[in-house]
Chain A
Amino acid sequence: MTFKIGVVTFPGTLDDRDAQRAVRLAGGEAVALWHADENLHKVDAVVLPGGFSYGDYLRCGAIAAQAPVMDSIIKAANGGLPVLGICNGFQVLVESHLLPGGLIRNEKQHFICRDQTLVVENVDTAWTNQFTQNEEIVIPLKNGEGGYIATDETLKRLEGEGLVTFRYKDVNPNGSMNDIAGLRNERGNVVGLMPHPEHAVEAGFGPDMPGTMRSGVDGLKFFTSVLNSLVNA
C-alpha cells in the first residue's frame, strides 16, 4: 500500500512543495494539510516544512504552534504519529513542546546557507532507521535562527538518554549548544532538525558532494525511513 504523508502549509511556509516532492520520490503519497484545518485527512505521518510561518513574528514558530492543525498534530504525535519538523518545522515542534529547548538567532547574526555535514547519532526513530549509527551525511542548511539552546539540565537529559539525533560535524554553523542539529522525542516518532533533508533527495539539485556537483541525496533516507517504519508498524 502507499502511505500518506501530510505536509503542512502555514502562511509563510516555503519548503512545502519541496517536502511533498521528497515524499513522492521516496515512494509515499504527499497530502497537503492546511494550517486552519484541524482535519489530518487520515495521514500516516506528518512533515512540518521549513519557511517563515507568520513571518517569524513574535518568535519563530510561536504563532504556527497555535494553529488549529497543530492541536490535531500534537494529539496524534502523543499517540505515536510520526512527525518530522524541518527548520521552521523544528521551531514549531519546540514551540509546541513536542521537543525541548529553543532556537535563537545564529551566532554570527546572519542567515546562512551551506552544504552541511551531520552525524546521525540515533537511528532508532521513525525518520532515521535507514541510516547506520554515526553515519556522516551532507544536507543543505539554511536558516537565520538555528542556534539550539537548552538548560543545563535539559542538555544533560538529552545527552544522557541519547535523544540528540543529529550533530553538526566540522563546522557548527549557528552556535548551537553541544553542536546539536536535531533531536528526537523519547518515543522516537517525533524528530526535528534545522538542516533540510528535503533538499537532498534528487541528484542534480542537492548539495555538492566531493568531486560531484549537486549530487547529494542523503536526505531521501528520512522519507524512506518513515515509510519503512509504517510498513513495520
Chain B
Amino acid sequence: MALFKKKKPDFVPSGVDTTANAAVTPDKALPYAQLGLKDDEYARIQEILGRRPTASELAMYSVMWSEHCSYKSSKIYLRQFGEKVTDEMKKDLMVGMGENAGVVDIGEGWAVTFKVESHNHPSYIEPFQGAATGVGGIVRDILTMGARPIAVMDQLRFGEPSNPDTARVVHGVVDGISFYGNCLGLPNIGGETVFDKVYQGNPLVNALSVGALRHEDLKLAKASNPGDLVILFGARTGADGIGGVSVLASETFDSTGPSRRPAVQVGDPFAEKVLIECCLELYKAQVVAGIQDLGGAGISCATSELASNGGAGMRVQLQHVLKRDESLTPEEILMSESQERMMGIVPKKHLKAFEAIVNKWEVEYSVIGEVINEDRLYINWGEEEIVNVPPRTVAHDGPVYERPVAYPAYQDALNANTVHVAANGNGLHRHNDNGSELAAQVVQVVSSPNQADKGWITDQYDRYVGGNTALAQPDDSGMIRVDEKSGLGIALATDANGRYCYLDPYQGAKLALAEAYRNVAVGGARPMAVTNCLNFGSPENPEVMWQFKQATAGLADGCLELGIPVTGGNVSFYNQTGDVAIHPTPVVGVLGVIDDVARRIPSGWQDEGHNIYLLGVTKDELDGSVWSEVIHGHLGGRPPVVDLAFEKQLAEAIAAGSEQGLIASAHDLSEAGLAQAVVECSLRFGMGARIWLGEICERDGVDRTAALFSESTGRVLVSVGREDDVKFVGLCEARGIPVLRIGVTDNSGTLEIQDIANWNLADLGAAHKGTLAELFG
C-alpha cells in the first residue's frame, strides 16, 4: 500500500508541526488553554509523550479529554451503574456499559441496543442543525453495534413559552428533528417536551435511538487484527463542527463572546440514510471487522478508540482523507465533526467486496491506514509524522476528577417551603369546597403548556414508517414490533422531572426511573433495561456536583431495587447560562419487552360501560407538583415518596392482567395526577365517563385537591369490561394492590367528575390540544 513513502532526498518540509519538530522545540508555546485543556492536563500529556505534543496531538488530546468525550468529572460516579448489579440483572445483558451502546437479549434470538445522547449546546446556538445532527449521531451509534435502527424518540426542554426567544428554539429544534428523522425512515415513537424558565438560555435536546439485531450479528467497534485496512467512508470531511466538543460541550458559553456558529455541525439526512443501508449491507456480507461512527471528536476519536478497544495500534495517512475543502489543516481534519462519516476496519481480502457495496450505494471512501501490531497510533501528513501516541492514553486513560461536592446552601430552605407552609405559613390555597373553582383548575392544568397535548410537535414526525409501530405518542410508551412472525416487540419510555430533582436529586432520579418503568409496564411490556442522559450544570460548581452525586446514586440504587441494569448512557454538563444552572435533569429511559405486541394495552378508553379502577394509594403529595406550579407558581418541599418494591408488584399485576386479557386500557398517573389521567384517557378515543372522588378521599384520607392533583407514585388508571370485573379485582387483591372503582365509561360525549364538572369532550379536547398550536403554530 502506498500510504507511507520514505522521504526523498529533495524533500521540502510542509511546515506542519511534526513529532521530530516537537522533540527539538520543547519550549514552543501551544494554545492548550484555548482548546479547553487545564495546566495539569497539558503537563500530563507532556509526561505521557516525553516531549511536548505536536499541534495535531494537542488537537486530539484536547477533544478526547474534554468533559464530553472523557467523562472526567462523572466517571467515578458512573462506575456504580456497573457495580450495583446482581448476576440476575446481568443475565440478559449481551453488551454492558462502555461500548457505543448496550445490547440486551430479548429472546427468540433477537437483541436490541438503545441509547440516549444530548445535543444541548449546539441546539441553542443553531437549533435546527443542532437537533438534526443529534438524531443523526445517536442513530450511527446504534448502527455500530451491527443493529438496524428501528425507532427514535426525543426528550426536549425549552424555556418559557412566553419568552420571545423560545419560539426560535422550538421551531428550529422541532423542524430539525422532523427534517432529519423523517428522512431516515425511522418512526418517532415518543418523547417528552417540557417548558421551564431554567432552560431559557440552555435548552435540552436529547435524542434516543433503538436498534434490533440477531444475536449472531452483534458487532463491536474495534481494530484488533494487524494488516486490516482502516477505511473512512461516507461524507467528505469539512470544516464543520471543528472544536465542537471541547469548545461547545465543555465550557459555559455566554452571549457576549464571538459567534460559535461554525462549531455546530451541519447534517445531511439523505447521506445518512444511504450510509445506514450501506453499513447494514456491509455487515450482512461480512466484509467488515468493525465499524465506528464519527461523531464528537471525529477522526481523533474513531482512530484512537478503535485501536484502544482492539488492543492494537494503527498507522494513518491523513492526506488520504477525502475533503470538502482542500485548505483544511491536519489539526482541523483530526478535530472535524463533519456528519455522516464512518470508519470501517476491513480485512485486506475483503477490500474488493467492500468496494462493490459502497460503490453500489454511491458512497465515497478512501483507505487511510492499517491496523498494526504495536501499541501506537501513528498519523502521517504525507511523508511527515505528526502524531505518535499510545492510543489508550487518548481514548480511555484521560483525566479523572473527584470534583468538590457541597450540599447546596439553598437546599434546606427549599425543602422547608412546602405547599403546607408557603403563602406566609398559610399553605397554598385549596378550593376544596368550591367545585367550579376545582373544575377551572383542572382545565387550567391540562391546557398548560407542559400538560397540554403535544400533537403540534409529534404530528411533525413520522410515526408510521417501518410498519411496526404498535404504540406511539400520546400513549405512555412507544412500542415497536421486532419480529413480524411471532409479534415479539419492545417498548420504550423516557422520563425526567427537573422540579423533583431540584428538590431532591436522589429521590428525583428514582422518580424518573419509576415513572419510565411504570409507563413501559402499563403498555403491557416487561421492563428489562435502563439507559440515561444526565443533564446537569457545571461540574466545577460543588453544589451541582452534589446534585450529580445524589442523582446517580438514586438511579443506581433504584435500578438495583427494580432488578434492571443500566446498559449505558450519556452525561451532559455545563448546562447553564451564566452562573445559573438548569434544574438537574437526569433523563431515564426504560426498555421493556413484550412477547406479542398484539397484546399491548391501549392508554385510553375505547369501550362504553367499562369500569374504571384506580390502582394504588393517593397521598397528599403536592410539593413540586404541576398544580403547585401552574396554579400557584410555587416550587418547594419534597417530591413524592417512591416505593420501588410496590412499583414492581404493580407492574407484575398489570402484566398478569394483560396476559389474562382482563385489561381494556391502562394509563399511568404522574404529573398532574388523576385529573390529567382521566382527561387523557377520555380524549384518546373520545370516550366519556362518570368519575367520583368520594371514595378516594374517604379511603386515603385526602381532600379533593389532593385526589385530583396529587402526584403520588405507584398509581395506574385501568378500565375493565364488566365481564372481567370480578377476576380483575381478585387479581389485584391477591397481589396486595389497593384497587378502587372510581368511575364508569359511557358514550355520552362528556366527562363528568361528580360535584365538580361535566365537560363536553369537544370543548375539553380543544383546550387540551389547542395550547401548543396557539403558542407556536
B602 at the interface (CB under 8 A from A): yes
Give chain B interface residues in 467-483, CB to chain A under 8 Å. Answer: 467-470, 481
Interface window among B70-78, B90-98, B269-277, B563-571 = B269-277
Tell me if A110 and B464 are in contact (CB < 8 A): no
Tell me if A213 and B606 are in contact (CB < 8 A): yes
Contact with A along B330-354 (1 / 0, CB 8 A): 0000000000000000000000000
Contact with B along A51-77 (1 / 0, CB 8 A): 110111100000000000000000000
CB distance from A86 to the nearest CB of B (A): 12
Nearest-CB residue, chain A, relative to B184: A14
Residues of the A chain whose Cβ atoms lie less than 8 Å from the Cβ of B22: none
Residues of the A chain whose Cβ atoms lie less than 8 Å from the Cβ of B461: 111, 113
Give chain A interface residues in 182-233, CB to chain B under 8 Å. Answer: 196, 198-199, 201-202, 204-205, 208, 210-214
Residues of the B chain whose Cβ atoms lie less than 8 Å from the Cβ of A50: 465
- With A21-B467, A205-B470 given, is the CB distance from A11 to B607 under 8 Å? no
Please, how many angstroms separate the alpha-carbon atoms of A15 and B467 in the complex?
8
Contact with A along B151-182 (1 / 0, CB 8 A): 00000000000000000000000010011001
Tell me if A15 and B185 are in contact (CB < 8 A): yes
Please, how many angstroms separate the alpha-carbon atoms of A50 and B183 in the complex?
10
Tell me if A113 and B468 are in contact (CB < 8 A): no
Residues of the B chain whose Cβ atoms lie less than 8 Å from the Cβ of A18: 465-467
Please, how many angstroms separate the alpha-carbon atoms of A40 and B182 in the complex?
29
Tell me if A211 and B687 are in contact (CB < 8 A): yes
Nearest-CB residue, chain A, relative to B468: A205
Give chain A interface residues in 6-27, CB to chain B under 8 Å. Answer: 11-12, 14-15, 17-18, 21
Please, how many angstroms separate the alpha-carbon atoms of A108 and B185 in the complex?
22
Residues of the B chain whose Cβ atoms lie less than 8 Å from the Cβ of A51: 185
Tell me if B464 and A199 are in contact (CB < 8 A): yes
Tell me if A202 and B274 are in contact (CB < 8 A): no
CB distance from A69 to the nearest CB of B (A): 14
Please, how many angstroms separate the alpha-carbon atoms of A112 and B460 in the complex?
5
B597 at the interface (CB under 8 A from A): yes
CB distance from A89 to the nearest CB of B (A): 14
CB distance from B236 to the nearest CB of A (A): 16
- With A52-B270, A55-B183, A114-B459 given, is the CB distance from A204 to B685 under 8 Å? no
B268 at the interface (CB under 8 A from A): yes
Please, how many angstroms separate the alpha-carbon atoms of A17 and B179 in the complex?
21
A142 at the interface (CB under 8 A from B): yes
B121 at the interface (CB under 8 A from A): no
Tell me if B685 and A213 are in contact (CB < 8 A): yes
Tell me if A112 and B459 are in contact (CB < 8 A): yes
B598 at the interface (CB under 8 A from A): yes
Give chain B interface residues in 447-506, CB to chain A under 8 Å. Answer: 458-470, 481, 484
- With A57-B270, A205-B468 given, is the CB distance from A111 to B460 under 8 Å? yes
- With A113-B464, A213-B602 given, is the CB distance from A14 to B459 under 8 Å? no
Tell me if A211 and B685 are in contact (CB < 8 A): yes
Contact with A along B685-700 (1 / 0, CB 8 A): 1110000000000000
Among B460, B464, B466, B606, contact of A140 (Cβ-Cβ < 8 Å): B464
Tell me if B270 and A142 are in contact (CB < 8 A): no
CB distance from A104 to the nearest CB of B (A): 17
CB distance from A148 to the nearest CB of B (A): 20
Contact with B along A145-178 (1 / 0, CB 8 A): 0000000000000000000000000000000000
Contact with B along A99-118 (1 / 0, CB 8 A): 00000000010111110000
Please, how many angstroms separate the alpha-carbon atoms of A142 and B185 in the complex?
12
Tell me if B183 and A12 are in contact (CB < 8 A): yes
Tell me if B467 and A202 are in contact (CB < 8 A): yes
What are some 20 contacts across the A-B interface (CB < 8 A)? Answer: A11-B273, A17-B467, A21-B467, A50-B465, A52-B269, A52-B273, A108-B777, A110-B178, A110-B460, A111-B461, A113-B458, A113-B459, A142-B182, A142-B462, A202-B467, A205-B470, A210-B686, A213-B602, A213-B604, A213-B685
Q: Which residues of A contact B (CB under 8 A)?
A: 11-12, 14-15, 17-18, 21, 50-52, 54-57, 108, 110-114, 140, 142, 144, 196, 198-199, 201-202, 204-205, 208, 210-214
Instruction: Name 4 extra pairs, CB < 8 A, besides A140-B464, A199-B467.
Output: A55-B268, A55-B269, A57-B270, A211-B686
* The 7 A-B residue pairs with the shortest CB-CB distance in the complex, in nearest-first order: A55-B270, A14-B185, A18-B467, A199-B464, A52-B183, A111-B178, A213-B602
